[in-house]
Amino acid sequence: MTPLPACCTPLDAHWPLPAPLPGTVFLSTRFDPALLNTGDFLRSAVPPPASIQRSVAKRQAEFLAGRLCARAALQQLDQLDCVPAIGEDRAPVWPAHISGSITHSTGHAAAIVAHKAQWRGLGMDLENVLALERAERLAGEILTPDELQRMALVPREQIALLVTLTFSVKESLFKALYPIVQKRFYFEHAEVVEWSEAGHVRLRLLTDLSAEWCHGKELEGQFAVDGEQLLSLVAVRA
């Protein structure tokens, strides 16, 4: 196995969310852009796309960390030795029979993979929890009118978590559904119907994406907060 670069901690298989997903492989790592060396991509056998070669150290380190998690997860799942490329739509390109998702935020990257025969879509997103004042400023851009009404009933100390969760879980929803519907959609096209501090969340589509994924369709998601970061996941069963 190719050794990890100094900028990444050993890959961690600990499942951080409330409900395990059978048949998936999840791996995460912590990374430090200050420890990234110019030869790390070559030594790790992760070819950097041109856009990454031109990027700052932070972007290079998060890309490398995420791809290392993805490659190791694919090896564990299916003995595959491949690094997902960046597609024309900027999404990772997975083997045809695999669904997967990669995410990263400050100093932390993770990947999850599964067979499409079991999980048709996987979407995972990691975000830094917003500061309260910033969450209140951004709420109008992220939340629908109905979500804003529901937010008004939440104690003010929960608003930062709610806005961060809504942003993150809608990102996860997009990552899970876009490979299936091949159609872009945005924050206003889905809403968080309910959520619990235990880490469960329910979403509803507010637009027609396909005959199956239409206005009113509901999906379950989950999330967990670790320190100042929130991880969310939406998974679509086969």
pTM recorded for the entire structure:
0.95
**In the β-sheet with 190-195, what is the strand arrangement from edge to edge?**
119-128, 229-237, 218-226, 200-205, 190-195
* CATH fold match for the domains 25-117 and 128-237: yes
Domain 128-237 has CATH 3.10.20.740: no
Q: Which pLDDT does position 179 carry in this prediction? A: 94
Class of domain 25-117: alpha beta
Name which of 118, 81, 105 is nearest 1 in CA terms: 81
Q: Where are the domains of the chain?
A: 25-117, 128-237
Close Cβ partners of 181 (under 8 Å, ≥ 6 residues apart): 209, 210, 213
pLDDT tens for the chain, 238 residues: list them. 678 999 999 999 999 999 999 999 999 999 999 999 989 999 999 999 988 999 999 999 999 999 999 999 999 999 999 999 998 888 899 999 999 999 999 999 999 999 999 999 999 999 999 999 999 999 999 999 999 999 999 999 999 999 999 999 999 999 999 999 999 999 999 999 999 999 999 999 999 999 999 999 999 999 999 999 999 999 999 9
192 Ramachandran zone, left/alpha/beta (phi>0; psi -120 to 50):
beta
CA 140, CA 221: separation in Å to the nearest integer? 22
